Amino acid sequence: MPMGYLDNLIINTDNYKHCHYPLYPPGTEYVSSYIESRGGEWPVTQFVGLQAYLREYLMRPITLEDIDEAEFVVREQGMHFNRENWLGILNDYDGFLPVEIEAVPEGTVLPARNVLVQVINTDPKYFWATSFFETALLRAVWYPTTIGTVSWLSKMVIKEALARTSDNPHLVRNTLHDYGARGVSSQQSAALGGLAHLVNFDQSDTVPGILAAKHFYNAGKVSNSGPNSEHAGFCAWGQEHEADALRNMLDVYAPEGCALLLSDTYDHENCVKKIIGGELREQIRNFPGLVGVRPDSGDIVQVTADTTEWLMDAFGYEVNSKGFKILPPFIRVVQGDGVNFYSLPQVYMELERRGLAADNAVFGMGGGLLQHWNRDTMNFGQKASAVCVNGEWRDIAKNPTGAAFKVSKKGRLALKYENGTYTTVPKGSIPESENVLKPVFRNGKLLKKWDFTELIANAEREVPESYYISHVGQMRTVSNEAAVSAPA
């Protein structure tokens, strides 16, 4: 979903890309490159988002007008521009890039430092095309893949918490809501990051992400939301009428069966104890659905647990089969402020310390989900690994002395999956039928169209504990001594 004037593929790149084609050896015919996470904050990646780029950009042919515009812009910057290269693509391939792209099935979670995407030109005349669109292709991969990984690892935290203290592990996909639209740098980021989150969860208010999942991946219903509140509406009633503001929302949205009440417009503790748990207690008990109590400030770890306990004082609780206290089904804590990749496990650990079940609270994540990351978080890179010169293939790689993680892979690559383990291997060393990399694009045509249900199925596959233990392991240090004993 580009911004009109940014559609032109020829200038959707770094300017210096235009001067690279004569720098290859004479007789160069093919260039093969690949994309990987070279390691970083996490040991795994969840691959997602490539199809959106292919459909939006590479399936749209360049035009003569695009060439004219690019020539003017590039030359104006003092950069070399080869018009004949682009006229050749326009006339020989109807404006589509003559490249083939292979990729891992979208939604797949696999260890970092494995090939995710492999690109090669399909016509020796256009050997330079492989690396020309690296800027846009790498951006299209690193961002949604990084957000998908953040979301997936957060899901592993929630699964762990539910497994430890809850009787309702099936709630995992309904526990983390995407509120990141206002916290990202662009609507396109909201779209790509939002769709990546929806691979793992069924909760979102990020409309661009919902639309992107439908537009690019044929998604059906992928998200749930419900009536929530904001401070503007509640402040408008004035502090002396805070109870009336809350009561009004309960009245208005009773037919919807859901009302999420902000509780920190003024004094959160007073609101929970005296208004929600006092003046409005019977109305909430009789509400035909779920009432969420949403603190929006304070120490996230303490306020989530405190609010849960205050609500239990007012509405009671049961003890589940694992010995943890659980609120009545009509009321939950809804925590969004301060929720991020690092704080979420801390919240669950505090709930467990106090003997409170994980499913007392649901969460929303905003900028901490969609914005707090960059390409270096997982050190994404696209590198050439093989060239064919005068009919002879050469394995090539960079091996800088100043950064060991930047050492690149050699040769044409394949991805092997055997006994639960992914390994990047030389292409040709395994039968193509066993190669996890699948051709998805060639010369302007989509060879494989991923449906969103396939992404979800790939993401739900069982994986080794080593994929997530570095993030989840801290939760296993919590003592169960605080848990109350289950009734006989």
Q: Which residues are annotated as a binding site?
A: 182, 205, 231, 294-296, 336-337, 367, 375
Which residues carry a binding-site annotation for beta-nicotinamide D-ribonucleotide?
205, 294-296, 336-337, 367, 375
Q: What is d(CA 95, CA 86) in angstroms, rounded to the nearest whole number?
A: 8
The three state secondary structure string of 364-418 is EECHHHHCCCCHHHCCEEEEEEEEEECCEEEECCCCCCCCHHHCCCCCCEEEEEE
Q: What is d(CA 145, CA 193) in angstroms, rounded to the nearest whole number?
A: 8
Q: Are 43 and 377 in contact (CB under 8 A)?
A: no
Q: What is d(CA 332, CA 362) in angstroms, rounded to the nearest whole number?
A: 7
How far are the Cα atoms of 54, 96, 138, 202 from residue 61, in angstroms, in the given order? 12, 5, 20, 35
* Count of beta carbons in the 10 Å neighbourhood of residue 186: 11
Shortest CA distance to 318 belongs to which of 307, 326, 310? 326
Residues sharing a CB contact under 8 Å with residue 445, sequence separation 6 or more, in sequence order = 59, 96
Q: Are 328 and 319 in contact (CB under 8 A)?
A: no
Which residues carry a binding-site annotation for diphosphate?
182, 231, 294
Q: What is d(CA 246, CA 455) in angstroms, rounded to the nearest whole number?
A: 40
How far are the Cα atoms of 33, 45, 102, 104, 118 from residue 427, in angstroms, in the given order? 13, 22, 12, 14, 11
Residues sharing a CB contact under 8 Å with residue 76, sequence separation 6 or more, in sequence order = none
Instruction: Return the structure tokens found at 126.
Output: 């256009």
Instruction: Return the structure tokens found at 141.
Output: 């991969």
Instruction: Return the structure tokens found at 8.
Output: 């032109």
In the chain, what is the straight-line distance between the N-terminal and C-terminal CA atoms, in Å?
58
Instruction: Return the structure tokens found at 435.
Output: 């190669």
Backbone angles phi, psi at 7, to 5 degrees: -70, -25
Backbone angles phi, psi at 38, to 5 degrees: -90, 25
Angle made by CA atoms 387, 390, 392, in degrees to the nearest 5: 55
22-38 CB burial, b ≥16 within 10 A, e <16: eebeeebbbbbbbbbbb
